[in-house]
């Protein structure tokens, strides 16, 4: 039985006009949104998948397949709540999450506190246990060319006492 487990994940979604931009459960005003079967919240997907990885339960697609109509347009925070239940049933809690968003635009700084609050609420942990940072693509690659957004996440899970 492990007392501490670590997981990591990367998620990428394409930007497209006519979609809402939702990151960390926050709807952000922008000319493009993320393309995906659910709400395509790349940040919440990376956080959830890092937890699944720490638990050795596979990836998001295994649990929430994009071929299943019930996940069409799904709120990713609801998917994260399901992942929390799996983690809780296995006897683990969040030690901490450290996530990064790679997006050229829009600016993430005004939204990071709300993202942290949303994710901490779903994972039943303190906001201090959720770190979210953002960086730009500096006009390089698909991030810099505003074709997509990437999010990375690392988490530590602790066995509940």
Binding residue ranges: 11-13, 37-38, 45, 59-61, 64-68, 103-109, 142
Entry field: residues in the chain: 161
Q: Is 32 left (phi over 0), alpha (psi -120 to 50) or beta?
A: beta
Residue ranges of the binding site for a divalent metal cation: 11, 13, 45
Q: Is 159 left (phi over 0), alpha (psi -120 to 50) or beta?
A: beta
Starting at the earlier edge strand, list the strands of the sheet with 148-159.
32-34, 4-17, 148-159, 92-102, 130-135
How does DSSP classify residue 105?
S
Buried b (16+ CB within 10 A) or exposed e, 79-111: bbeebbeebeeeebbbbebbbbbbbbeeebeeb
């Amino acid at each position: 039985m492990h007392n501490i487990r670590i997981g990591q994940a990367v998620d990428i979604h394409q930007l497209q006009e006519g979609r809402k931009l939702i990151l960390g459960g926050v709807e952000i005003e922008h000319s493009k949104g993320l393309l995906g079967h659910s709400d395509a919240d790349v940040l919440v997907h990376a956080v959830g998948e890092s937890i699944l990885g720490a638990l050795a339960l596979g990836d998001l697609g295994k649990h929430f397949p994009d071929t299943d109509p019930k996940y069409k347009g799904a709120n990713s925070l609801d998917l994260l709540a399901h992942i929390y239940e799996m983690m809780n049933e296995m006897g683990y809690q969040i030690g901490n999450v450290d996530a990064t968003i790679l997006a050229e635009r829009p600016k993430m700084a005004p939204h990071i506190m709300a993202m942290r609050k949303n994710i901490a609420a779903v994972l039943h942990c303190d906001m201090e246990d959720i770190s979210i940072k953002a960086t730009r693509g500096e006009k390089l690659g698909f991030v810099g060319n505003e074709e997509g957004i990437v999010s990375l996440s690392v988490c530590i899970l602790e066995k509940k006492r």
